[in-house]
Structure 1
Amino acid sequence: MDKSVPVVSKIFCSGAPTMLMIRRRPAVVNGGGFVVTDLSHSIVFIVDGCGTLGSKGELMVKDGEGEPILSISKKGGIVQALSTRNRWNGYSMDYQGKNKLVFSLTDPKSCTAQDRDCTIVDCTRKIVAQMGKKGLMGGKDFYHVEVQSGYDQAFIIGVMAILDSIHGESTRC
């Protein structure tokens, strides 16, 4: 029985827990963002922020080949200005370039600095992914995330890109 939980696509779900390594790019190199590799150092995902895209509140997750798979944008306007939370929408990108809303997340306006040791849980409080800096290269520009089996790695990287932008890290203008 398949226990995959695809959000972006089933092709990004693995049957076993997967360790991914994240290396932030400085804003002066390719516009910032970060690169995600597997343990054999093959590029799995690339995340571009507004330094590359040129628009504040816009993020792009690409596959290892550089093809866009997830477009993320922060909603703005008068409704957002009156809200106590920012809303981020993630859109999958199909081969025809059409966008389909696949997730929506909100964040509190009173966020503090991002902790590289955190856990992402689903609605039942089951651990989906754990992010940390212990045991692998360490430092502010290198950290890792372990995505549990069956969960969509592209979605998890999208959530990490949003957290990175919220906390003024490499994807933010």
Structure 2
Amino acid sequence: MAAKDNTVMPIISKMYCSSSQAVLVVRRRPHVISGGGFVVTDCSQKAAFKVDGCGILGKKDEMILRDSDGDALLLFRRKGATVEALSIYRRWRAYSLDYEGSQDQMVFCLKEPNSCLARTQAIRISTKATKNKDWDFEIKGNFPDKDCCIVDSKGKTMAQIGVKKELMASEDLYHVVVTPGTDQAFVIGIITILDYIYGESTRQACTAKSKH
């Protein structure tokens, strides 16, 4: 899965683009302890990113991606349900945050099929740089089974999501292989939304909390 070149593709920041392949491990947080979300570690088992789910934020359809120091990088929000009821897609938007932690500008948008007319369509992502096409990246494979990848509009694999044999003993662990030059924060941002869409760690804690 090695990239053909080491072209840097920063979406969030070039500081998250490595010149070599990166293997990250996603570990779910226990719901009862921290309200959901997950932690991403690098090959040295050091925290690289952290995701706060709606159980922590107390708001449905919202998550935050943080860096290793805990500083907020992206805020994720789903477009209003009333508007989406008339659309064949649900739209998630990722916003950068200013120095005060307030919503700044949109970084990318993820479109999730929302009707029988769009069920055969892939989940696709467009960035603020999208111009002459409707999307820049799409998801291929099955995220709930942790057997999928993120590819660009030319079919080049940017990241592969899977489970290593040594991690199979735990359902709370899976790995993400990111190709050289690809923005790792952007990849984890996409995974954050996929996690919520499929009712995993960022969403279940919020659901459980709302029952009390």
Q: Match for 2:173 among 132, 142, 151?
A: 142
Aligned to 1:20: 24
The answer to whether the 8 A contact 1:47-1:59 is kept is yes
% identical aligned pairs: 49
Aligned to 1:152: 183
The 2-side partners of 1:134 and 1:158 are apart by: 21
Does residue 51 (structure 1) correspond to residue 55 (structure 2)? The answer is yes
Q: TM-score, normalised by structure 2?
A: 0.76
Q: Match for 1:34 among 18, 31, 38?
A: 38
Deviations 1:96-126 (A, max 9, x none): 5351211001112378871211111111110
Measured at CA, do residues 29 and 130 of structure 1 come closer, stay the same or move farther in structure 2, by a change above 3 Å? same
Moved more, 5-14 or 105-114: 105-114
Aligned to 2:108: 103
5+ long unaligned stretches in structure 1? none
The 2-side partners of 1:169 and 1:128 are apart by: 23
Indicate the structure with greater helix content: 2
Q: Say which SS state the counterpart of residue 34 (structure 2) adopts.
A: coil
Aligned residues: 173
Task: Give 1 or 2 for the bigger CA radius of gyration.
Answer: 2
Aligned to 1:166: 197
Aligned to 2:90: 86
TM-superposed CA distance for 1:74, in Å, is 0.7
TM-superposed CA distance for 1:29, in Å, is 2.0
The 2-side partners of 1:2 and 1:93 are apart by: 28
TM-superposed CA distance for 1:66, in Å, is 0.5
The 1-side partners of 2:63 and 2:175 are apart by: 20
RMSD: 1.9
Matches within 5 A, 1:60-139: 60-98=64-102, 99-109=104-114, 114-138=144-168, 139=170
Moved more, 96-105 or 80-89: 96-105
The answer to whether the 8 A contact 1:34-1:47 is kept is yes
Moved more, 133-142 or 157-166: 133-142
Q: TM-score, normalised by structure 1?
A: 0.93
